[in-house]
Structure 1
Amino acid sequence: MRFISKSKPTTRRGFLAATALLAGTLLFTSCLNDIESPELPPAAYVSIFQGATDAPAMDIFANQNRVNQQPVQYTQVLPYSAYYPGRRDFRFSAFNSATSLLEKDLVLEADSVYSIFVAPEATGIDAILVKDIWEEPTAEKAQLRFVHLSPDAGKVYLQAVGTSTPLVTESSVKSVSGFEELTPGNIILTVKSSTTDEVLIQTGTLALKGNRVYTLVLRGLKAEASGEKKLDVQLITNFVNY
């Protein structure tokens, strides 16, 4: 399932302001109509989620520039930040290590928004680059996508409790759905096996709000009964239209 935006995409200037707010940075703009704000240099905006269960705390580099200030732990998210567009050599290594867990060339386009999902592999980790495309957020709708990062959960589908039509069908490991619009309010989501219809995990009551764009991540291991590596879901807020 792939979603293509039919509305005007969020402007680069507007997106930069919003992501700066989400990251806890105050962005001041002039109120004087006769003063033009400076033109921003070309940039792509990238968020990184660490979803590899067995990976150590890591450093992440783009063309030799470290992009994290603190070691990135399992389940942590680096919020959207500006990157130079073009081919970027992303390197993932254990914290303070000179050796690499993974090196991958990723191409970033100017004025585009991306997420990188660090995913588990049988022999290490992988990095999945996805272009984030959503409708212009409104108060009447929330938007949600589903990311499957559990290596032993098999194919799954996502369904809201009390409904008969899945929100996402046939999701396999390392797949990322498109953003789907939902009515804001309280919702309980269930991840079920596509093969057996077994309920693998169910969220608590989620209060989805309008003007928000969300990602729900399935992570961890079905084989683990407890601890931080057990199968779980995590809700991430990608964007708030203030």
Structure 2
Amino acid sequence: MFICPYCARNFYRAPKFRAVSHIRFLNASPNSPAIDVYLNDRLMFRNLLYKYFSDYVTIPSGTYHIKVFPSGNTVNPLIDKSLFIPPEKIFTLAAINEYPNMDLLSIEDVRHPKIPDKAFIRFGHLSPEAPTLNVVLPNGNTLFSNVSYKQITPYIPVDPGTYTIEARSSSSDERILYVPNIRLRGDRFYTIYAVGNLSKPPELQVLIPLDGNSYIGS
């Protein structure tokens, strides 16, 4: 099973005299409730369900105090961290780990020169229970190897088209995830995020968003 939430261009205005960056938020914490995300005590993302992405927003570069609460609450944050956002970057900020022991992972949607008639993909391991993984095609070709929890691989170019992938344990080669019918378009950047659990709900699956480097600043 996979979910492919394509995010819209919905940006906040930022002061012109400061360099800006673009961020979105992903709730990848298994069994978490809907969450509210505050930046410097300002509500930025509201009622974000597990497996959902926010839209990208534009913010000035700088250090931000990030707090995450169960939606509708403002006491006892699930995440309470400071994070520097450098200028002219694109980030996906992910709530990870099992609820309620959530953590924050900052993932840069790295800008790359586009190659005509190529799609770019990478793999993000956000499943706290899953072992280190190899991501392979049904013909045995390996796309990504030895990807451990919280690791995000570099992008690689592939031909546009429809793909089936398998995630296999790097140590035993056991297939733990099978994902058919992944459609990839040319001149686009995608991250295949593995989320969920192996031994208990919610089940292991992938999310395949269109990354902001596909269109922000292009």
Per the shorter chain, which TM-score range? 0.7 to 0.9
Residue matched to 1:90 = 66
The 8 Å contact of residues 28 and 126 in structure 2, kept in 1 or not, is answered as: yes
SS of 1:154's equivalent in the other structure is: coil
* SS state at 2:33 partner: coil
C-alpha distance in structure 2 between counterparts of 1:190 and 1:97, whole Å? 39
Following the alignment from structure 1 to structure 2, what is the Cα–Cα distance between the partners of residues 105 and 162?
44
Change (3 A) 1:50 1:208: same
Alignment partners' CA distance in 1, 2:83 and 2:43: 16
Q: Does 1:155 align with 2:132?
A: yes
Counterparts of 1:40 and 1:141, CA distance in 2: 36
Structure 2: how far apart are the matches of 1:94 and 1:103? 13
* Corresponding position of 1:47: 24
Q: Is the 8 A contact 2:9 2:56 kept in 1?
A: no
Shift, 1:122, TM fit: 7.6
Q: Offset at 1:123?
A: 5.8
CA distance in 2, matches of 1:186, 1:238: 18
2:3 aligned residue: none
User: Residues 97, 232 of structure 1: CA spacing in aligned structure 2 closer, same or farther, 3 A cutoff?
Assistant: same
**How many Å separate the matches in 2 of 1:24 and 1:84?**
17
User: Which ranges in structure 1 are unaligned for 5 or more consecutive residues?
Assistant: 1-20, 27-38
Superposition CA RMSD, Å: 2.2
Structure-1 separation of matches of 2:180 and 2:81: 36
Shift of 1:107: 0.5
Structure that is richer in strand per residue: 2
The unaligned stretches of length 5 or more in structure 2 are: 1-5
Cα deviation for residue 54 of structure 1 reads 2.1
Distance 1:84 1:58, change over 3 A: same
**Which is greater in Rg?**
1
1:124 aligns with 2:114: no
Distance 1:137 1:65 in 2: 35
For residues 35-55 of structure 1, give each alpha carbon's deviation from its aligned partner in whole angstroms, at most 9, with x where no partner exists.
xxxx67421111211100022
Structure 2 residue 37 is matched with structure 1 residue 76: no
SS in 2 for 1:79: coil
Q: Which of 165, 170, 174 is 1:198 aligned to?
A: 174
Give identity over the alignment, percent: 20
Matched residues in 1 for 2:123 and 2:67: separation?
A: 25
Shift, 1:130, TM fit: 2.0
Q: Distance in 1 between matches of 2:53 and 2:25?
A: 6
Give a deviation string over 1:193-226, Cα, whole Å, max 9, x none.
11110110111111111011101010100003xx
Rounded Cα–Cα distance in structure 2 between residues aligned with 1:43 and 1:78: 18
Letter in 1 for 2:8: A
The answer for the alignment partner of 2:144 in structure 1 is: 168
Distance 1:22-1:74 versus aligned 2 partners, 3 A rule: closer
The SS at the match of 1:197 is coil
Q: 1:204 to 1:234 in 2, by over 3 A?
A: same
Query: For this pair of structures, how many residues does the alignment match?
Result: 206
Q: Which amino acid letter does the alignment assign opposite residue 73 of structure 1?
A: L
CA contact (8 A) 1:137 1:213 kept: no
Is 1:233–2:218 an aligned residue pair?
Answer: no
Per-residue Cα deviation, 1:135-186 (whole angstroms, up to 9, x for no partner): 223441101111111111111111122242x211111111111111111111
TM-score relative to the length of structure 2: 0.87
